[in-house]
Structure 1
Amino acid sequence: MRRHKGRLHAFARRHLGDADAALDVVQESFVAAWKALNRYDPARPFSTWLAAIALNKCRDRGRRLKVRRLILGERSIDAPGTPDYADPAAGPETQALRAEQVARLERAIARLPDQLKEPLILTSLEGLSQQEAADLLKVSAKAVETRVYRARRRLAEWLAEA
């Protein structure tokens, strides 16, 4: 758990746009991994298997939020928290500006549809190759490339509007 929790949390936070929800997803992922340990294939990387579990937990949470929004409307249930990305060498104004920019980007990433968000996070933020992301998402590497391009284009449009 110590080895993988930080990376899983970063992945889930980027996917969900909410640090607290990401903690829940990490915990749910470890519990699910423990229960499914007998299905783990040691020939494949453990971190990839664990990332697939976390991705499914993020998707489950997203579906539950959509149902809540449908029932309750747009309320604060999905208001993302702002992570702390302070650079101790930068001044307070620079730190605040950088934190706001990162928060805007994370909110924009969280708004992306899953089919664009997932390949973007896996390749651009988690460092997986297009083929590794394709294997995890069960699509072709070309589909990953196209979806990452579309996600970046949409993010650029949204961030230019703000």
Structure 2
Amino acid sequence: MRRHKEGLYRFVRRYVGDADTAYEVVQEAFVAAWSNLGRYDRVRPFGTWIKTIALNKCRDRARREMVRRLVFGSRPDDEALLPEVPDGTPGAEAQLIAAQRRAALDRAIAALPAKLKEPLILTVFEEMPQQQAAEILGVTIKTIETRVYRARRALAASLGVAAESDPDAEG
């Protein structure tokens, strides 16, 4: 648990976009891993196995949230409406701007469709090889490449920045 908790938390945090929810999902993933330790295939890396469990927990949480929104309607995220208060240390303004940019990126990533979000988080943020991400998601490497490209373009559009130039892109 000590070896994997920080990386798993970062992965889940990027997926769900909320620190408290990420903490809960990571706990759920470790509990599920502990409960199913007998099913663990020691041939595969443990990190891949636990990330697969965490990914499934993230998907479960997203489905429950969608049902909740359908039943109760959407509500504004109270935390997103509160401004971050700088602590007054030198460079507080720069820290605030950086924090706001990170928060905007986290919200944009969380808003991506799962098919784009999952390969982006695994390969870009978790620096997982495309082959390993393809195994976790049950798709081909080419599918990973395409979805990461589309996720980056969607993020650029969402954040209002120019997408990285791609020689293969139409345009």
What does residue 73 of structure 1 align with? 73
Corresponding position of 2:98:
98
CA–CA separation in structure 2 for the residues paired with 1:79 and 1:132: 35
Within 5 A, what are the aligned runs for 1:48-127? 48-76=48-76, 91-127=91-127
CA distance in 2, matches of 1:134, 1:97: 35
The Cα shift of 1:32 comes to 0.3
CA distance in 2: counterparts of 1:10 and 1:60, whole angstroms: 18
Report if the CA contact (8 A) 1:14-1:110 is conserved.
yes
Contact 1:19 1:80 in 2 (8 A): no
TM-score (ref. length: structure 1): 0.91
- Match for 1:27: what amino acid? Q
2: CA distance between counterparts of 1:143 and 1:39? 28
Q: TM-score, normalised by structure 2?
A: 0.86
Deviating above 6 A after TM superposition, structure 1's stretches of 4 or more consecutive aligned residues are none
Q: Match for residue 16 of structure 2?
A: 16
Residue aligning to 1:142: 142
Alpha-carbon displacement from aligned partner over 1:114-152 (angstroms, at most 9, x marks no partner): 000000000000010111100000000000000000000
Question: Structure 1: any 5+ residue segments left out of the alignment?
Answer: none
Partners of 1:16 and 1:6 lie apart in 2 by: 15
- Structure 1 residues 91 and 139, CA gap change in structure 2 (3 angstroms): same
* Residues 42/120 of structure 1: CA separation in 2 closer, same or farther (3 Å cut): same
Identity level (%):
57
- Structure 1 residues 36, 77: closer, same or farther in 2, change over 3 A? farther
Which ranges of structure 2 fall in alignment gaps of 5 or more residues?
A: 162-171
- SS of 2:139's equivalent? coil
Rg larger for: 2
Give me the CA root mean square deviation: 2.2
1:118 counterpart SS class: helix
Show CA shifts across 1:52-81 (max 9, x none): 000000000000000001111111469669
Bigger share in helix: 1
Q: Alpha-carbon deviations, 1:12-66, whole Å to 9, x = none?
A: 1100001100011010001100111001011111011000000000000000000
1:52 maps to amino acid: T
Work out the CA distance in 2 between the residues paired with 1:154 and 1:21: 24
